[in-house]
Amino acid sequence: MHTRTLGQGLQVSAIGLGAMGMSQSYGPNPGDRDDMIRVLRGAVERGVTLIDTAEVYGPFVNEELVGEALAPVRDRVVIATKFGFRFEDGRPAGLSSRPEDIVKAADGSLRRLGIETIDLYYQHRVDPQVPIEDVAGTVKELVAAGKVRHFGLSEAGAATIRRAHAVHPVTAVQSEYSLWTRDPEPEVLPTLAELRIGLVPFSPLGKGFLTGTVDPTTTFTAGDIRATIPRFTPENRDANQAIVEHVRALAAAKGATPGQVALAWLLAQQPWIVPIPGTRRLERVEENLAATGLALSADEVAVLNTLTTDIGVQGNRYNDAGLAMVGL
What residues are annotated to the active site? 57
Instruction: Tell me the backbone φ, ψ of residue 12, rounded to 5 degrees.
Output: -140, 170
Query: Count of residues for the chain?
Result: 328
- DSSP code string of 314-326: -S-SS-HHHHTTS
* SS3 assignment, position 44: helix
- Beta-strand relationship, 3-6 and 91-95: unpaired
* SS3 assignment, position 137: helix
DSSP 294: -
* SS3 assignment, position 115: coil
Residues 296 and 250: their CA atoms lie apart, in Å, by 10
Give which of 201, 212, 151 is closest to 178, Cα–Cα.
201
Which helix or strand (DSSP H or E) is residue 149 part of? strand 148-154
Q: Could you tell me if 28 and 286 are in contact, meaning their C-beta atoms sit under 8 angstroms apart? A: no
Peptide bond connecting 201 to the previous residue in cis, omega within 30 degrees of 0: no
Q: Would you tell me the crossing angle of helices 188-195 and 158-167 to the nearest 10 degrees? A: 20
Rg (CA), the chain: 19
* SS3 assignment, position 24: coil
- Beta-strand relationship, 118-123 and 78-83: parallel
Burial class of residue 295 (count of CB atoms within 10 Å of its CB; 0-12, 13-18, 19+):
exposed
